[in-house]
Structure 1
Amino acid sequence: MMIINNGGAFEIQNSWGNWWGNNGYIWIKYSDFQNWVKYAYEMIYFEKKTNVTEDYNDLAGAIRFVQSDGSDMNSTFSGSLYKMNNSYRSGTKFRIYISNNEPAFVYAFGTDATQKVFPVFPHEPTISPALNYKKNDVAIPDEEHYIEMDNTVGTDYLCVLYSLDPIDIETIHKKIESGYGSFYNKIKAALGGKLVENQNVKFDNNKVSFSAKSKGKTVVAVLVETKHVQ
């Protein structure tokens, strides 16, 4: 089915042929559409940027960590990543807010002392990484629930990739798991030269936020390190 019009209700065109409905078309109320349609897709054209000045930031975003009591989990930028100002115990409940200030494909994943990489966003194949508009805010896991820190103490990492192009994220995960060196170096190696040069990315020192000029590259990686205690 494809939605082709909006006039107080949706007009639906079905693939079965013109013998169905009104020559293949039928009107459906918003409430009925919501109740009966399991999946819907929106096609959005990405306009190619032209006449871009050297001062134009084509990748930008921010990340917030909020505990279940409403308090922020603050961090400070330290060279190649953000480090949480405080350590956090197993059982801590928190929510992550991922924002983009320019259209981007956004992927988030984490790792811990097990060295395994696990997806954070998108967390299932039916969810698209494409944040097509400026200023999206994605709550993880959602607006009603929280992430709870498990019993694997040590150092936890979250990485959020902001990309101008789609990424084969499963391959990236596998390369990171089999890589060597620091988490940052594993990510850099896995992306194979796609990372925006450091001098073209401006990271805020006291909040997880950045703006960048891609200048021929396609990905900015934002890393957050957390000391996880028992």
Structure 2
Amino acid sequence: MLAWAALSPASESLAQTRRMGLKMDDAKYLRLPRKSSNVKLKGALPVSYNLRELLPEIADQGLDGTCVGWSAAYYMRTAMEAGKLGLGGQPAKIAATAFSPSWLYGQVKSGLDNSCAEGVFLEDALEVMKTKGTALLSCAPANCDAKYDQCDDAAANYKIADYATLFNPKDKDATPGQRINAIKSALVEGKNAVLIGMMVPPSFIEEAAQFWQAAPGESVDNTAGGHAMAVVGYDDNMNGGSFLIANSWGKAWGSNGFTWAKYDDLVRFTRNAYQIFPEPAAKPQPQVVTLKGNVDFSISNGGMPVHSTLYKGIQVTPDQPDSKIEMITYNMSQPYSSGTRFKMVINNSKQSYVYILGSDQQNRVSTLFPYNSEEVITSAMVPANSTVLMPSANASFTLDEVKGEDYFVVFISQNELNLDELANKVKNAEGTIVQKAYAALGEEFISPKEIAYDSGKIAYEVKGDPKGSVVPVLVKIVHQ
């Protein structure tokens, strides 16, 4: 499906001042990494959550098809920066920190689009924000006709770390409740706006006020086109449960440019939704805990207890050439037989990429997480203060018929890694599994002397800003 701001006759007259401009392609969207459905926020979601105090003043895209620039740069990226700087409720300072919709739109629009009327893909804009950054509005004021090459260098200071889709529009088994919770969780986890691509029904253009809900008979098969917006809050008690939407149609639309969209109607007309992950914070103080987490294994009838051993043989020589650093490898306290099914839960205090490899004494190496298939590419990003159940709620890891020693190699990384390359390096390296793991990443590993491993459970803690960006967690299972 490909859709953008083509207008139905019913809404054409009003839409002369209500332009959209979002291109959508299901195949393009589904090729992006999707946030694992098994990532859960620690604790219950609050009844309501609102980021409105972090937003700049509501703006109007006018007759330009630039909704992607306004939603992604002006609203979402500004809210992210305002939250980082603690500017909530300070409109003048937020305005000075706002980001440019025109610079972002100009990065991804067609070279033939001289009037900013054709629209663009959110996916393309987010990739620019990840790889090139985003320019400030003070450098690149809103002007469709302007070129802002002079802002490119400064824009690189404002990159996002990554982004992930929240659901599959073609998944007929996904319930409205699952999609609602995916958006709510992303808002609370990220403390930032969720970007959506919505197929806009006529009632959203013509009738939205403080509240919006679809008119009787409206369907996704008869809409005015695709529109990008920012979801900036929710309230379970607002009109039976609603999301707060920041739109780019000026203050005359909705309620001063916002509307509370009823949960079920919002997710029914929303085809695309994205969670955006910020760049890591500035370097912390040496004694501040910057990363803390644990890993739990379980089988159907209970837990899988572990004990730890110091796995010798790895040399780390940044300061003392003759010193040896001992690294903990966790061992299951008892052997397990072929066919044993088990799950893994990872809890992490800091936003991180999580990668898992499996290996054995026959040097078979497999990629276990993130899981990719023809249907879905799973994002490796796990938000801060979240848990992720692996491989999934309705699947388990299973020990095969090859007996011996099996290993789980878990990498908790600040930076994005190529899992297939990691697997090949581990497979082709010489030595023990620990030596293979170190050979795969080398200096990217945080030195074991900088990591406090718990000897009684699979847990780790890192303080300050040590050299490297990856915490390794190694687990051995005796397979009998």
Q: State the TM-score, normalized to the length of structure 2.
A: 0.42
Q: Identify if the C-alpha distance between structure 1 residues 38 and 187 changes in structure 2 by more than 3 Å, giving closer, same or farther.
A: farther
Aligned to 2:474: 223
Q: Does 2:311 correspond to 1:60?
A: no
Checking the alignment, whether the CA contact within 8 Å between 1:59 and 1:104 is kept in structure 2 is no
State the 1:35 CA deviation: 5.0
Instruction: Compare CA radii of gyration and give the structure with the larger one.
Output: 2
Which of these residues, 97, 102, 106, is aligned with residue 350 of structure 2? 102
Displacement after TM superposition at 1:38 (Å): 5.6
What is aligned with 2:451? Answer: 201
Counterpart for residue 275 of structure 2? 42
Give 1:10-159 correspondences, 5 Å limit: 11=245, 29-34=262-267, 37=270, 39-50=272-283, 52-69=284-301, 71-79=302-310, 80=327, 81-124=329-372, 126-133=377-384, 135-159=385-409
Q: 1:11: Cα distance to partner?
A: 4.9
Higher strand proportion: 1
Letter in 2 for 1:65: F
C-alpha contact (below 8 Å) 1:67/1:95 kept by paired residues: yes
Letter in 1 for 2:458: V
1:182-209 C-alpha deviation (Å, 9 max, x unpaired): 1110110110211111111111111000
Partner of 1:175: 425
Q: Report the counterpart of residue 17 of structure 1 in structure 2.
A: none
Match of 2:46 in 1: none
Greater Cα shift, 36-45 or 173-182:
36-45
Supply the distance in 1 between the matched residues of 2:267 and 2:357 (Cα, whole angstroms): 31
Separation (CA, whole Å) in 1 of partners of 2:330 and 2:296: 12
Alpha-carbon separation, structure 1, partners of 2:272 and 2:436: 36
Question: Does 2:216 align with 1:3?
Answer: no
Gaps of 5+ in 2: 1-196, 198-227, 235-241, 248-253, 311-326
Q: Deviations 1:85-132 (Å, cap 9, x if unpaired)?
A: 100001112111111122211111211244222222211262211123
**C-alpha separation between the residues in 2 aligned to 1:97 and 1:12?**
36
* C-alpha RMSD over aligned residues: 2.6
The CA distance in 2 between the partners of 1:36 and 1:156, in whole Å, is 46
Matched residue, 1:184: 434
Structure 1 alignment gaps of length 5 or more: 14-21
